[in-house]
Structure 1
Amino acid sequence: MRVAIIDDEPLAVRLLRQYTDRHADLECVGAYTNPIDGLAAVQEELPDLLLLDIQMADLNGLHLARLIRGRVPVIFTTAYDTHALAGFELDAVDYLLKPIAYDRFCQAIDKVSRRGSPAARKISLPAAPRPYIFIKSGNKTLRVAVDTIRYGSSAGDYLMLYLDDGDRVMTLENLGDLLERLPVAEFCRIHRSHFVRLDKIDYVERRRVVVGENWLPVSKGYLADFTARINDNS
């Protein structure tokens, strides 16, 4: 099995290379600490399996996985268990939590080998996300229905959520951290300071998204992922 590795931590790459070298059925055909370079190589070579970190500086692993979805099986490797549901929504074969033990690594590889059979596809998924989230705003903790969130924009230390009824919710929560609590299939980050719910978009014009009377810029770093998401829903 031809395996590629993308992880921006050199020590993590070294460990996964040791594991692939140790496993008799695996051949490492590429290991990348730069996710942009790794994405280009994977799209060209199409290995049999990708071992992919999620939390990376230049390109989030979840975004990268969407770009190759259906073409290369993915096993996510990450230090954060909060990403598990998003990984399974992207049809990941498995989800390895760092530090990764070799026997757990082998179990994940066995899943890839067995995946051709219907029985192997019966993965026990985490519970479905709640239709609401709790957000701390000032001295209050507010319950916000997920399907009422139109988009979010950050400025300085603050993040503002814009809702269907015209209300706004201001919070100190980090934009990236909040996105991890939202359904990955429904929301998309389009800029370091903006995210949008896909089904709230009225239209896209050049490199901006229009939601009602408001428009949001799509930055170059998020353009490829956003375009792929839009095409998937066309």
Structure 2
Amino acid sequence: MNLRCLIVDDEQAALNVLTNYISKTPFLELAGAFTDPIAALEVIYKEQIDIVFLDIHMPEISGLEWIKLLRGKSKVILTTAYSQYALDGYNLDVVDYLLKPVPFDRFLHAVQKVQDILTVKPIATPEPVPVPVAPAASSDHVFVKVDSKIMKVRFQDILYIEGLGNYVSIFTETGRLVTLSTMKEVEEYLSDTYFMRVHRSYIIAFNRVEYIEGNQIFLNKNTNVPLGETYRERFFKLLEESMMNRK
């Protein structure tokens, strides 16, 4: 299945790079490249577009505001020079974000995510089992499918888990594992003893919390995740209980 793409970026150099990458990818078809985000929206509303490569910093309208106007009509891959906007993109259900300058292998990884999401698999094909073969209640680990491997992940090694559509990223001290799953499925397999949902897109290892500042939970000095309003009361109740237990 060919995927029809739009590029929306106010920098011509960025348009040229992505246009070149799309031309080299057999299952992608370029439907248009725009420096004007409003003109791009008009195309989206009239035609079937599968993927939008979208810059965040644009003069007329920000990429994040543009996504809201998109109303879910296409899958979005953010392209930006600013990594701090990744969390905002995740909250708007983007498929991936690419940091400029975008390497070709990273570009391919992102579009393959979209391909996996949009491709309807034959009935005879068994569904992938992302986060694990269900562990026993007393288990201290899970097994996750990452690419062609099934990997053991110990609860004690996990910092947090981030949801992104039909995928989750498991972040440990040593790296990141991406597997096909939903946050709901992950919650069913994780031990409540170790983990807590703190945001629509985040589950944290509670014993990794170093401090809380505003609506940010810091797991170490370089790692923080947002605390969602829906989860705030339960989080602070558990935190209060933990403080009492240490007296």
Where on the TM-score scale, by shorter chain, does this alignment land: which range? 0.5 to 0.7
> Do residues 95 (structure 1) and 62 (structure 2) align?
no
1:123 corresponds to: 168
Tell me which amino acid in the other structure corresponds to 1:74. V
The equivalent position to 1:104 in structure 2, one of 97, 103, 106, is 106
Tell me which amino acid in the other structure corresponds to 2:167. K
**Are the structure 2 counterparts of residues 92 and 125 from structure 1 closer, same or farther at C-alpha, using a change threshold of 3 Å?**
farther
Tell me which amino acid in the other structure corresponds to 1:82. Q
Residues 64 and 88 in structure 2, CA contact (< 8 A), matched pair in contact too: yes
Tell me which amino acid in the other structure corresponds to 1:62. L
2:12 corresponds to: 10
Written as runs of structure 1 = structure 2, the 5 A alignment for 1:1-234 is 1-116=3-118, 119=130, 121-124=166-169, 145=214
Unaligned runs of 5+ in 2: 119-126, 131-164, 172-196, 200-211, 216-225, 230-247
- Shift, 1:48, TM fit: 0.9
1:220 corresponds to: none
Residues 85 and 125 in structure 1, CA contact (< 8 A), matched pair in contact too: no
Identity %: 40
SS in 1 for 2:79: strand
- Shift, 1:128, TM fit: 6.2
Normalised to the residue count of structure 2, the TM-score between the two structures is 0.50
Per-residue Cα deviation, 1:110-150 (whole angstroms, up to 9, x for no partner) = 10011147758122288968xxxxxxxxxxxxx9846xxxx
Between the aligned partners of 1:4 and 1:84, the Cα distance in structure 2 is 20
Tell me which amino acid in the other structure corresponds to 1:25. F
Which segments of structure 1 move beyond 4 Å, counting only runs of 4 or more?
116-120, 125-129, 143-146
Tell me which amino acid in the other structure corresponds to 2:169. S
SS in 1 for 2:85: helix
SS in 1 for 2:169: coil
- Shift, 1:71, TM fit: 1.4
The count of aligned residue pairs is 139
- Shift, 1:20, TM fit: 0.3
Normalised to the residue count of structure 1, the TM-score between the two structures is 0.53
Tell me which amino acid in the other structure corresponds to 2:103. A
- Shift, 1:107, TM fit: 0.5
Residues 88 and 125 in structure 1, CA contact (< 8 A), matched pair in contact too: no
Deviates more, 1:60-69 or 1:34-43: 34-43
SS in 1 for 2:40: helix
- Shift, 1:68, TM fit: 1.3
SS in 2 for 1:123: strand
**Are the structure 2 counterparts of residues 37 and 125 from structure 1 closer, same or farther at C-alpha, using a change threshold of 3 Å?**
farther
1:201 corresponds to: none
Between the aligned partners of 1:85 and 1:125, the Cα distance in structure 2 is 15
SS in 1 for 2:168: coil
Tell me which amino acid in the other structure corresponds to 1:35. P
